[in-house]
Structure 1
Amino acid sequence: MTTSPSHPFRGVFPAITTPFNADGSVDHGFLREHARWMMAAGCDGMIPLGSLGETNTLEHDEKMAVLETLVDALDGKPVIPGIASLSTAGGVRLAQAARDVGCGGLMALPPYVYTSDWREMKAHMAALVAATELPVILYNNPGAYRTDFLAPQIAELAGEHANLRGVKESSGDVRRVTALRAILPESVDILVGLDDAIVEGVAAGATGWIAGLINAYPAESVRLFELARDGRAMEAAELYRWFLPLLRLDVVNKFVQLIKFVQEETGHGSARVRAPRLELTDAEKAEARAVIEAASGRVPVGVGA
């Protein structure tokens, strides 16, 4: 465990998937079991209701039920939900409701659909950060949300809001980590948001990882982060070479379907998704299955299933 009160966002945080029953409802029994399984592998908290959690397909009451289940399951370890909404007011309401059910932090996303200039995006993010006293991660993913928060802009926001304590950097450019580390206060942690950039991101100064394939491979993910963090370059490189074909499933358009399919194939979940997403085609499943089977035949020594 690497989190502390002064650095609540250091370590490994699964972007946990949302499991669904055959009738499309949320499978809370599996959600609880799955979260505890990943925490037992050495994770430092849980991030539900993100992109991987299909938050845009969940109604407000479903989101709150997910948070209540996870807060109870983690028994004091931080639950850090994604806060995303079409409107600023909706995001503020969700942030406050998350606080009220016991979440330990928040991950603030830019608004769905609408994108604009820094003045408007800053106002939106500032409202989410100021909605509660909880520590907040700013989520920068220009590829997905069409809003790109640059290092000076994030530093401006952090200078005005002491509870902005983390940045999830998902631009795909590890130079952003270097730029952020050079300009942000030491109290603000930088977390890698793309699975196939974790070793490079840590080398550039990141101190956390919000991970996707961890939903199927928690022990391997935690081990990789620890090796990179501790400067054990040769061991990290060996594990990374094995893991990269799987980690690259996190950075394509159907990453939600693919990661859930990997969970199902490895016995750690279901491939069910909610529309507008559809489950993978047979050809896509065959391609993903080949990646899984190749990896399963050469698991590095020292990491478990």
Structure 2
Amino acid sequence: MSIQWKGVMPAVTTKFTDNDTLDLEMFQINIDAQLDAGVHGIVLGGTLGEASTLLDEEKRKLTQFTVDNVKGKVPVLMNVAEQSTKGAIAAAQKAEEDGASGLMMLPPMRYKAGDRETVEYFKAVANNTSLPIMVYNNPVDYKVEVTLEMFDELLKCDNIEAVKESTRDISNVTRIKNNFGNRLKIMTGVDTVALESLLMGADGWIAGLVCAFPRETVAIYELQKAGRIQEAIEIYRWFLPLLELDINPKLVQNIKLAEVYTGIGTENVRAPRLPLFGEERTHVINVIESSLKNRPTLPDYKNI
């Protein structure tokens, strides 16, 4: 499946049982909720998916299960976050074998690669898979920035098609458009600047709180796309306290707790992560409960 880099693509959480195995039953409930809300793709094994704690066979099982479940309705992307170029190539090839439609790729893990090293890393993977690639540019969390000059070189690879833009600098959307036009599609990757980025020309949204609130997230995208900006803003303003749970070191625990409240997830995380407790837990519950009390009535956004 070729990928239309647009719309809302949830970076889904990985569901675990009480015995710390994959909870595919609850995972399916969440995926079904995402599809019913009208998402445009599914991203597996990202930060929210607890990729750093997943075994290789678990990643493969998640990919195969999701591809079988989605049945071609939307593209399924697997994240590649590896320490070596050799490992990244192998991960990309396994994702392709397992039926993934595309890849989201981080720079090398642990080692802070220089510009030339980062470019060569991405190019090596691109040259060893036929899957389309979205480069995840998040210098705030991963300490490596993929600059415009680096993209000049990367875009020589035809299958590097998109960027998950997470620099937190909204003006970077305009810089990318000015430099590359439609050659490099932009998927905004930070929930708290998502609507602003879309209004400045981003093509889509790799979202976090969508895991618990899929309909509200897709409604914001569809409304702004249709030019119904004020309606989108009103939902977004309601959403913002929840979206801020995504820009926090405990984003996985925060969002999984929100999923519990909306009935499409559990709190189970994989150690060393632990469920929220104490003041942190109280704060997050207050945000969720307050937001649910004022949950907006959505327009028929699917038929705009």
What range is the shorter-chain TM-score in?
A: over 0.9
SS state at 2:298 partner: coil
Amino acid at match of 1:110: P
Q: Is the 8 A contact 1:17 1:260 kept in 2?
A: yes
Q: Is the 8 A contact 1:177 1:190 kept in 2?
A: yes
What CA distance in whole angstroms lies between the structure 1 residues aligned with 2:28 and 2:224?
Answer: 29
Q: Are 1:100 and 2:97 matched, yes or no?
A: yes
Range 253-262 or range 270-279, more displaced: 270-279
Amino acid at match of 1:290: N
Cα separation, partners in 2 of 1:135 and 1:185, compared to 1, 3 Å: farther
Q: Is the 8 A contact 2:15 2:266 kept in 1?
A: yes
What CA distance in whole angstroms lies between the structure 2 residues aligned with 1:99 and 1:284?
Answer: 39
What CA distance in whole angstroms lies between the structure 2 residues aligned with 1:231 and 1:150?
Answer: 31
Matched residue, 1:253: 249
**Contiguous gaps of at least 5 residues in structure 1:** none
Matched residue, 1:180: 176
Matched residue, 1:144: 141
Q: Please point out which of 160, 163, 168 is paired with 1:167.
A: 163
Amino acid at match of 2:31: A
SS state at 2:186 partner: strand
Q: Quick one: higher RCO (CA 8 Å, sep 6+), 1 or 2?
A: 2
Q: Please point out which of 151, 154, 170 is paired with 1:154.
A: 151
Amino acid at match of 1:179: R
Q: Is the 8 A contact 1:108 1:129 kept in 2?
A: no
Matched residue, 1:295: 291
Matched residue, 1:15: 11
Q: Please point out which of 159, 178, 195 is paired with 2:191.
A: 195
How many residues end up aligned between the 2 structures?
Answer: 299
Once the two structures are superposed, what CA deviation does each residue of 1:114-154 show, in whole Å capped at 9, x if it has no partner?
01211101111111222211111000111221111112312
- TM-score norm. by structure 2 comes to 0.95
Once the two structures are superposed, what CA deviation does each residue of 1:244-277 show, in whole Å capped at 9, x if it has no partner?
0001111111111101111112221111111222
Q: Displacement of 1:156 after TM fit?
A: 2.4
- RMSD value, Cα: 1.4
Once the two structures are superposed, what CA deviation does each residue of 1:133-180 show, in whole Å capped at 9, x if it has no partner?
11110001112211111123123211x111111100111111111111
What CA distance in whole angstroms lies between the structure 1 residues aligned with 2:11 and 2:222?
Answer: 18
Question: What pairs up with 1:34-73 in 2 under 5 angstroms?
Answer: 34-73=30-69
What CA distance in whole angstroms lies between the structure 2 residues aligned with 1:268 and 1:75?
Answer: 20
What CA distance in whole angstroms lies between the structure 2 residues aligned with 1:52 and 1:39?
Answer: 18
**Contiguous gaps of at least 5 residues in structure 2:** none
What CA distance in whole angstroms lies between the structure 1 residues aligned with 2:195 and 2:226?
Answer: 11
Q: Is the 8 A contact 2:12 2:211 kept in 1?
A: yes
Once the two structures are superposed, what CA deviation does each residue of 1:157-216 show, in whole Å capped at 9, x if it has no partner?
11x111111100111111111111111241321001011111110111101100000011
Question: What pairs up with 1:75-90 in 2 under 5 angstroms?
Answer: 75-76=71-72, 77-90=74-87
What CA distance in whole angstroms lies between the structure 2 residues aligned with 1:248 and 1:259?
Answer: 10
SS state at 2:172 partner: helix
Amino acid at match of 1:183: N
Q: Is the 8 A contact 1:207 1:229 kept in 2?
A: no
Amino acid at match of 2:21: S
Q: Is the 8 A contact 2:26 2:264 kept in 1?
A: no
Q: Is the 8 A contact 1:13 1:210 kept in 2?
A: yes
What CA distance in whole angstroms lies between the structure 2 residues aligned with 1:303 and 1:64?
Answer: 38
Once the two structures are superposed, what CA deviation does each residue of 1:213-249 show, in whole Å capped at 9, x if it has no partner?
0011000000011122222221111111100000111
Q: Displacement of 1:303 after TM fit?
A: 5.6
Q: Please point out which of 264, 267, 274 is paired with 2:263.
A: 267
What CA distance in whole angstroms lies between the structure 1 residues aligned with 2:143 and 2:272?
Answer: 20
What CA distance in whole angstroms lies between the structure 2 residues aligned with 1:90 and 1:250?
Answer: 28
Matched residue, 1:113: 110
Matched residue, 1:135: 132
What CA distance in whole angstroms lies between the structure 1 residues aligned with 2:175 and 2:291?
Answer: 34
What CA distance in whole angstroms lies between the structure 2 residues aligned with 1:156 and 1:182?
Answer: 16
Amino acid at match of 2:125: L
Q: Is the 8 A contact 2:216 2:298 kept in 1?
A: no
- TM-score norm. by structure 1 comes to 0.94
